[in-house]
Every structure is written in structure tokens, then in C-alpha cells.
């Protein structure tokens, strides 16, 4: 697969951001129209409006789904803005929480739970936001692809001296434990991870028996 250049990534980000704005406007209209229907039905007497109760029960469900959609598009919009700058200050706790939201669906398909343990303090540093998201995402998907079915992927950021660390571990059964991290020359996730990590001047430590990956990034990147 051909690698995308910075301009192409920025282009995708801009288009996605614009479309999410439009979706949000459509959702706002749906929300208000369903609210108006509820207002009108509430003003009618039960005799003049057959099945009034059923309508009044159904309309809040539309609002709930609108709210769900707004949350999804808000997160997607936030993701699209990652490509605005190729070096930006990120706060790891918020950053990982956002990524977990975006990857929930992939985990759910494998019956895997994503658990996040935030650090006690804010962990801000300058990095390439897209590459950092890709690094963590590829660690998560590596475990998802090796799990038999079910389990827990835990993600825990921390600070260790002059390094920010992200500890990603998997509790659960893997297809072949002896092969875990021994496929680094063939597993696509690990190839991408190594590529991203080296471009970020970071490092990755793999621990097969513990089923864990530790990513290290300098707190002050040059």
C-alpha cells in the first residue's frame, strides 16, 4: 500500500471536518423537528390524537439516537482535526481516551474490552498527533488480531523521567502465545508501529509472556 503524504492526509482531514459539520446541522434539525412533533402531540387531547401515548414514547428515542450520532460525529470531527498540524501539543490522557472511543467498535467485534487507566497527572508533549494515534491503534489491533475471542486490552500512560510511556497490555487468550511478537517482520501492525515509533524518535518494548507493549516517547521532542 502506498504511503500518503502530508498534503493528502490534510485533505482527507479537511473534507471529513466539513462533512461532520454538515451532518451536525442535519442532526440539529432532526432534534428540533422531533421536539416540535412532541410539543404538538402533547398539546392535543388523547381523543383527538390516536396512539398519542405511543408517539410520546417513541419521540424521545429519536432524540436519544440523535444524541448518540452527535457524540459520534463530534469525535470524528475531533479526529479529522488531528491532521491540521503535523506537530502539536497533545495531552496523553485526553488523547488516549479519544482513541479508545474511536476503536471501541473494533474491540467489540472481538468481544474485547478496552480499559483505560489515566495517569495521575497531565502528560503534555509535542508530537505528530496522527502518528501517535497510529502507534497506539496498531498496538490495540495487534492484540485484537491475536486474541481468540474476548479479553481486556488495558492502556495506561505514565511519565518516567524524561519519557512519556504508554503501556498497552492484553489479558486473555491468544491464538499462539509462542508467536506473540515473534512475527514483527510480517505482522502489519508491528511494521507500521516500528515505522511510526522510529520517525517519532521513540522506542517500543515488547514482552511476550506479559502480553504487553510499552511505548516510550521523549517528553521534549526536538
Partner 1 sequence: MDDYRVLIVDDEEELVTTIAERLQIRGIQAEIATDGETALKMIEENPPQVVVLDVMMPGIGGIEILKRMKLQNLQIPVILLTGYGSTEQGMEGMREGAFDYLMKPCDLNILISKIQEAVQNL
Positions touching partner 1 (CB under 8 A) are 17, 20-21, 24-25, 27-29, 31-33, 35-36, 39, 43, 66, 70, 73-74, 77-78, 81
Residues paired with 124 in a beta bridge: 91
Which helix (H) or strand (E) covers residue 113, if one does? strand 112-116
- Residue 181 CB, shortest distance to partner 1, in Å, is 38
Q: Minimum distance from CB of 103 to partner 1 (Å)?
A: 20
User: For residues 17 and 191, which CB has a smaller minimum distance to partner 1 in the complex?
Assistant: 17
Q: Give the neighbor-by-neighbor strand order of the sheet with 112-116.
A: 112-116, 151-160, 163-171, 212-218, 203-207
CB of 34 to partner 1, least distance (A): 10
Please report how close the Cβ of residue 105 comes to partner 1 at its closest, in angstroms.
21
**Cell numbers of 172, please?**
486473555
140, 153 Cβ separation under 8 angstroms: yes
Nearer to partner 1, 78 or 156 (CB): 78
Nearer to partner 1, 9 or 174 (CB): 9
Distances (CA, A) of 89 to 82, 129, 130, 167: 11, 8, 12, 20
**Residue carrying the nine cell digits 432524540:** 63
Q: In this complex, which beta carbon is closest to partner 1, that of residue 18 or of residue 150?
A: 18
3-state secondary structure of 66: helix
Smaller CB separation from partner 1, 11 or 182: 11
- C-beta of residue 177 within 8 angstroms of C-beta of residue 194: no
Nearest distance, CB of residue 81 and partner 1, angstroms = 6
Tell me the closest approach of the beta carbon of residue 55 to partner 1, in angstroms.
16
Q: Would strands 112-116 and 151-160 be described as parallel, antiparallel, or unpaired?
A: parallel
Instruction: Rank residues 16 and 126 by Cβ distance to partner 1 and give the closer one.
Output: 16
Amino acid at each position: 500500500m502506498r504511503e500518503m503524504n502530508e498534503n493528502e492526509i490534510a485533505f482527507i482531514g479537511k473534507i471529513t471536518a466539513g462533512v461532520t459539520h454538515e451532518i451536525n446541522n442535519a442532526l440539529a434539525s432532526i432534534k428540533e423537528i422531533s421536539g416540535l412533533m412532541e410539543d404538538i402531540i402533547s398539546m392535543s387531547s388523547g381523543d383527538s390524537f390516536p396512539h398519542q401515548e405511543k408517539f410520546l414514547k417513541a419521540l424521545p428515542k429519536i432524540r436519544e439516537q440523535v444524541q448518540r450520532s452527535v457524540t459520534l460525529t463530534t469525535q470524528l470531527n475531533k479526529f479529522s482535526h488531528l491532521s491540521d498540524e503535523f506537530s502539536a501539543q497533545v495531552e496523553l490522557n485526553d488523547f488516549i481516551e479519544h482513541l479508545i472511543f474511536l476503536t471501541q467498535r473494533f474491540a467489540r467485534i472481538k468481544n474485547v474490552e478496552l480499559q483505560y487507566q489515566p495517569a495521575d497527572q497531565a502528560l503534555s508533549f509535542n508530537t505528530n498527533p496522527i502518528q501517535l494515534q497510529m502507534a497506539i491503534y496498531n498496538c490495540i489491533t495487534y492484540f485484537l488480531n491475536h486474541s481468540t475471542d474476548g479479553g481486556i486490552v488495558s492502556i495506561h500512560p505514565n511519565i518516567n523521567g524524561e519519557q512519556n510511556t504508554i503501556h498497552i497490555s492484553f489479558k486473555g487468550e491468544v491464538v499462539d502465545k509462542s508467536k506473540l511478537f515473534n512475527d514483527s517482520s510480517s505482522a502489519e501492525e508491528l511494521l507500521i508501529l516500528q515505522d511510526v515509533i522510529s520517525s517519532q524518535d521513540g522506542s517500543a518494548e515488547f514482552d511476550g509472556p506479559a502480553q504487553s507493549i510499552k511505548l516510550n516517547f521523549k517528553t521534549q521532542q526536538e
